[in-house]
Structure 1
Amino acid sequence: MCSSDIQVDVIVPTHTKYLDLIGSLGESVVKELENFSGDREALAYQLNLVLTEATANVIKHANDSNHKDTVRISIHLQDGLLNIKIYDHGQGFDLDSVPTPDFDHPEESGMGLFFIRSMMDAVTYTREGDCNVLEVIKYIN
């Protein structure tokens, strides 16, 4: 069981040059875990990928290339529950209607949500006030 309690909130412009920074936040959180007996390298990779993919989706789809907008990322770890929320101001989408990728004929894009769902324990997409929120949960033990 992890006894770490970590809260990180970051707001960045919706521009791809910030993707490396956002991905490295996940890796930094893993470094701070106390009493974590799992594979730190694998978890760091997963969190980097999830944060990078989710933020890239916001930049690509939620803001119509309007670089004046921002994306907020909130990472909270408490009592072995890692909760990540990515806030956007786009029109939103139906998470359940996103198809599983065609692995026989893979395309250049369209894999991000599949990877996020595969690596995390729960994924939801809801509306909170004037924002859409992609929430991902990972149980850390």
Structure 2
Amino acid sequence: MKLRTYSFPLAATLDSLAPLGAALQEFFSGAPPDVLFQLELAANESFSNIVRHGQAGAYPVAITLTRHPRHLEVVLRDRGQPIPAEALRPTAPDPQMDDPCSWPEHGMGMLLIRQMTDEYHYRYSAGGNEQRLIKYLPLGGGTCAP
């Protein structure tokens, strides 16, 4: 399979969630539905965090979608504030998903992102934030259409 990439900007508003989802569905069409659902959920949460905690409309968010032979990748770049180190640490102990009383008031978004992706990478530089979401494709048969 040939590597394919699609990059585009989105306004840093919650109204951009629908176009983000549509772009993922179209670009990654042919991926197994469960893989695509989980990646889209993680991308929506990452984007929502940028809007709510990072920059809220100040600058567009740069999105890059890449189809690799064995995984799908979504990269979100923004010029907002860095993600606090405590938000990046995995929560311990993990909340009991069937017991809402055990859920923390904040921080469930990062837990969701980590649960829905196979790899999550974050880095901050003078140019801003970069979040890289990776979801593996099943071996054999379950690959994306070229």
TM-score, normalised on structure 1? 0.78
Which amino acid in structure 2 is aligned with residue 118 of structure 1?
Q
State how many pairs are aligned: 131
Give the corresponding residue for 2:68. 78
Within 5 A, what are the aligned runs for 1:114-125?
114-125=111-122
Structure 1 residue 27 corresponds to structure 2 residue 28? no
**How far off its partner does 1:27 sit?**
1.8
Residue 12 of structure 2, aligned match among 5, 11, 14: 14
Q: 1:89 to 1:15 in 2, by over 3 A?
A: same
Instruction: Report the 3-state secondary structure (helix = DSSP H, G, I; strand = E; otherwise coil) of the residue aligned with 2:35.
Output: helix
Cα distance, 1:129 vs. partner?
A: 4.6
Offset from partner CA, 1:16-56 (integer Å, 9 cap, x none): 111111122222233145xxxxxx22122112211211111
Amino acid paired to 1:113: M
Matched, 1:69 2:44: no
CA offset at residue 5 of structure 1?
2.9
Structure 1 stretches of 5 or more lacking a match? 34-39
Per-residue CA deviation, residues 34-90 of structure 1 (Å, 9 max, x unaligned), is xxxxxx221221122112111111001111x3x231111111112213222111112
In the alignment, does 2:116 pair up with 1:126?
no
Contact 1:84 1:137 survives alignment (8 Å): yes
Aligned-residue identity in percent = 21
TM-score normalised by the chain length of structure 2: 0.76
Asked whether the equivalents of residues 72 and 86 of structure 1 are also in contact (C-alpha less than 8 Å), the reply is yes
Q: Which consecutive residues of structure 2, in runs of 5 or more, have no partner in the other structure?
A: 139-146
Specify which of 39, 42, 58 is matched with residue 50 of structure 1: 42
RMSD: 2.3
Letter in 1 for 2:109: G
